[in-house]
Structures are given as C-alpha cells and as structure tokens.
Structure 1
C-alpha cells in the first residue's frame, strides 16, 4: 500500500505504547529507549515479577516522569490475551502505539490449550488477536500505529503458508524435523506477520491507524535457548555474527518515533528503510485468506460480539 502518512506534529513524548516481549532482547532495548524519549509504556509480559523489576528500572533510568504499567499475559493462550486486552482497555484511555514483538520458536511439536501449534499461536495468532481487541482504542487515539516484529527469515518460506496443515504436523514429522521443519515453521509465522501487516493497513485505510512491520536483523538475544543443547549451540555460533539488541531495536524505535513523511503504511522495513519482502509476502489475496483463517482460529467474531 503506497499511502504516505504525513504527520509533522507527531511526538513520542507523552504517547502511550503497549509492547509485548519487552522483558528481554530488542523489546527491552526498545522499551528503554522509548521511555528515554518520554513515552509511557504498557509492558505485556508472562513473568510478572520480572516485568515489575524492569518497569522500576526503566522509570528510574529516564529523565522524564513516565508511566510504566505491567500487564500479565501468556501469549500462547487466547483466553489470557482476551483478559489482558480487557485489562489494557480498562487501564488505558489511550493506546497510541501497539508493538507486537513477542515471539518464539519451538523445536518440538506442541499444542496450546486452544489446540493450536505453539509457534503459530505465539508468533502470529497472538498479535492478530491482541491487535483486533485493541483496535477500537487505537482508532479512538488516532493518529496511532501498529508495529509488528517480522524477520528476513520469512524468505525461507518459499512455498508460503500451508493452509492445509495449519498445525504443522507434517513439518514436525521425524523426517521433516531433521530437514529443518521447526525453522521453516518459524519462517512461515514471520511471513504471516508481513501478510497481517499489509492486510491490516488495507482495512484501516482512512482511519488514522498505520500498520508497519520490520526486520531487526540477526540479533544476539536469549531467543531459542529453551530448545535443547543443539539449539543453544547453534545460537552460540550465530551470536558471533549478530548485532546487539540495541541495534536490532533501532528500526522499531524509529517506526514508533519518526515524524518523517516518507513512512509508508503497510510496508516492511529494515535498518530504517523500506525493503521489498518475498513475492509471496506481497500477495494481497494470500493476505486476505490468512486474515479469514486467523479470524476463525481466534473466534474473533465471537470475542468482539
């Protein structure tokens, strides 16, 4: 979508930013930097004690008098996401920016309490559901922004999303697992993040709510540390070639704070520049199909009514 958002009066100071995955990695780095620029934060985290510790650390480290709220949620549970959305709406009269940053990769085939494959549920369905539950508040707060963490890893999903195997049973079969099935599943979810972004932008055209996604690059974080010895060894090697969380968070912060009138709604960014994603990631028909499937998997019509 080529609509240019021109908003010279945009100022991050005093804006309220809801961010998931802010207790580590690029989410934490971004939260610190946004608060340092005067933004108020709502941190969505699973570990309440750790989130409160980080909230206190952020508040004492910035020169601004900022609010840092803590909201507790398990992003693998749709019931938990619905509850945290209710909590945010009750607490926050404004939501100026929603940053969908939480993500994970699971080496073994796991199902959530909702009966959905875990990587798909956390990386795609969670931001899809949370965004839609907060959408009216974002519209009321317009101009506002939705920023979703994607990845260059989406390019590995060369055949797109297998809509006939949404629970990825084939990808986690013994043979496919040896051939990198779990990693391919992660790539599919990152492809889904981009498709979600472009369809959200299309649906929100004219509302004052903008939708962006970005690639943080290869970042040295604690990502993929809970999937066994091989995964930890692989990540240890990758860290030798990785950028810092602060560097990885730069584009996220820029999308939240930029007043540059060249920011394009619905596009994908790398290193603060527009980047063309894979051909499949630009397919609006696939994006529309994914949206309908996601509505069904999250029972969105039931939740909103």
Structure 2
C-alpha cells in the first residue's frame, strides 16, 4: 500500500528546507525570506566560517524562532556530497524541501577528483547525486518539493548535450574556447537541470514529492568572478542590466511556499509562471539517457 496523503494546504512555516549555494546571491536572499516566513534551514556550504556568518545574518534579519543547521560540502566532489548527505540523514528526521541552487562556470578546463569536467560536476552531477541520496527522506516527509536553479543560459545549448564529449574536451580547445566553449558548456549543464527535473517529475508521480526548476533571470551577484579579468569585465557590464538577488530569488521562494504549484511537477518556471524551455527538452529519450548516464557517473 502506498502512503495516503491528507488534503491540507501547503505552508512553508515549520518546514525543513535544505539549500545549497545559500551563502551569497539568490540563495542567500531566498534563505533570508524563507526564514522570515518561519522555515527551518539546512545550509550546505563549502566554507564553514562564511556559512556561520550567513547564519548570523539570517537570524538577524528575522524575528522568527527557527533552526538553522550548517552542513559542509564541496559540490564538485561526490565523496563530499555522499558524506554530507549521510550527515543530513542522521541529523534531520524530515526534509520537506530540497533546493539545488549552487552553480558555477569554469573558464578553464578542470577535472574533478572523480574524473569529471568541473562545470558538469557542480551544476549537474552534484544536484543529481544529492537529490538521489536524499530522495527516500523526501518521500518519507511527503508532501515534499525539489527545486533546482536552471537558467535562460540553457538556450545556448540548442543542439543538446554532446554525450560523446562529456568531459567537454572539445569545447575547451583553444579555438572553441575563444568562441565561447565554456559558456556553451554552462548552457549544457543548465539544460541538464531541465531534463533532470522533467525526468524526476515523471519518476516521482504518486509519491507526494514534486520537482521544479526555474530561471532566476540575469542577477547582480558574484557569479563568474573567479575566471579572470575578461570574465569580471563582462559581468560588470551585464550588472548594468541585472536584477537584484532578492528579485532573482522570487521564483525560488514562490516554488518553495506557493500552494498553487502543489499539483504541478517536472516543469520550468520564469518569473513565477510556467514557461516552455527550448524544443529539445521535449525529447523524453534524451531525458532518460541523461538519467542513465548520470546514474553511471555517480555510481547510483
């Protein structure tokens, strides 16, 4: 017999929200808003000192009496993700919302300890593995939600994901790099977020766990600041046309707390509305193939 769900209105107050990438940008903005509305938080961060500073910021920004836990992990390392997932499972009897928000773009070709290209590891394999490891706890906590930060950048990857070049070696060759190979790679990982959410939504039907992904828009954050002078200059120009982190976080917060999305799953949102991503995302075979490859790459 499956779990029977009582009909009750979703309310973020008292829910336990695990979130990655919450020490800056839209993740921090969302964490502050969710805390102000009575949500308890589990913040996954790479730097413990920074994470503790953020906890103080969040607590200072709300009068709510809430729990904020800090978990330390490097989202490019599968070993680290497995360790933090184990810690979350041992410390948290409930996980009501998982927000996969951490992301990055790497201008230079880097390979992780497990042998995967860094942008792919952080933006896709990290969320995939963390979600998979916490999935049973989310099901036990149902109704529950999984939210993944994608991007309008997925539109750069109109030809899809090159499964024959998963280490992106071709995209980082000198000429391809000069022509925007690393940015295209970022677009591929954001496309992967959409495929992941779509397939996850299909697999979780009937469990009480729903999955969503969204585009925060062009946001004024510190994103892409570690990739050299040209990247910093580009981002400085783009900031002139960017929205605030608080504005960028609006859809993330809405997906975490809105009752109206309770019966939706597997979809992509922009500015609190369902939007259609690029046409290739309708290909269920690609979504299934990506899932199988991701399982193999994370040894699930």
TM-based fold match above 0.5 = yes
Q: CA deviation at 1:158?
A: 1.1
Q: For 2:297, what is the secondary structure of its paired residue?
A: helix
Partner of 1:3: none
Q: For 2:260, what is the secondary structure of its paired residue?
A: coil
Partner of 1:303: none
TM-score relative to the length of structure 2: 0.97
Q: Which one is further off, 201-210 or 253-262?
A: 253-262
Structure 1 runs not aligned, ≥5 long:
1-5, 301-305
Distance, in Å, in 2 between the alignment partners of 1:95 and 1:254 is: 18
**Which is bigger in relative contact order (C-alpha 8 A, separation at least 6)?**
1
Partner of 2:226: 226
Judge conservation of contact 2:255–2:261 (CA < 8 Å) in 1: no
The 5 A counterparts of 1:37-52 are: 37-52=37-52
Distance, in Å, in 2 between the alignment partners of 1:224 and 1:260 is: 34
TM-score relative to the length of structure 1: 0.95
Q: Which one is further off, 260-269 or 227-236?
A: 260-269
Distance, in Å, in 2 between the alignment partners of 1:263 and 1:256 is: 13
Q: Does 1:273 align with 2:256?
A: no
Q: CA deviation at 1:247?
A: 0.1
Judge conservation of contact 1:7–1:261 (CA < 8 Å) in 2: no
Distance, in Å, in 2 between the alignment partners of 1:44 and 1:101 is: 10
Distance, in Å, in 2 between the alignment partners of 1:284 and 1:160 is: 13
Q: Does 1:236 align with 2:243?
A: no
Q: Does 1:29 align with 2:58?
A: no
Q: CA RMSD in A?
A: 1.3
Q: CA deviation at 1:260?
A: 1.5
Q: CA deviation at 1:261?
A: 5.2
Judge conservation of contact 1:8–1:259 (CA < 8 Å) in 2: no
Q: CA deviation at 1:283?
A: 1.5
Distance, in Å, in 2 between the alignment partners of 1:213 and 1:240 is: 26
Judge conservation of contact 1:22–1:43 (CA < 8 Å) in 2: yes
Partner of 2:3: none
Q: For 1:210, what is the secondary structure of its paired residue?
A: strand
Distance, in Å, in 2 between the alignment partners of 1:191 and 1:39 is: 30
Q: CA deviation at 1:207?
A: 0.3
Structure 2 runs not aligned, ≥5 long:
1-5
Judge conservation of contact 1:44–1:70 (CA < 8 Å) in 2: yes
Distance, in Å, in 2 between the alignment partners of 1:289 and 1:22 is: 30
Judge conservation of contact 1:8–1:260 (CA < 8 Å) in 2: no
Distance, in Å, in 2 between the alignment partners of 1:242 and 1:61 is: 24
Q: Tell me how many residue pairs correspond in the alignment.
A: 296
Q: Does 1:255 align with 2:228?
A: no
Give per-residue Cα distances to partners, 1:151-204, cap 9 Å, x unaligned.
111011011000000000000000100110000000000000000000001010
Cα pair distance change 1:12/1:44, threshold 3 Å: same
Distance, in Å, in 2 between the alignment partners of 1:61 and 1:137 is: 29
Q: CA deviation at 1:8?
A: 5.1
Distance, in Å, in 1 between the alignment partners of 2:169 and 2:11 is: 46
Q: CA deviation at 1:282?
A: 2.1
Partner of 2:174: 174
Partner of 1:144: 144
Distance, in Å, in 1 between the alignment partners of 2:294 and 2:275 is: 25
Judge conservation of contact 1:20–1:102 (CA < 8 Å) in 2: yes
Distance, in Å, in 1 between the alignment partners of 2:162 and 2:261 is: 37
Q: For 1:260, what is the secondary structure of its paired residue?
A: helix
Q: CA deviation at 1:60?
A: 2.8
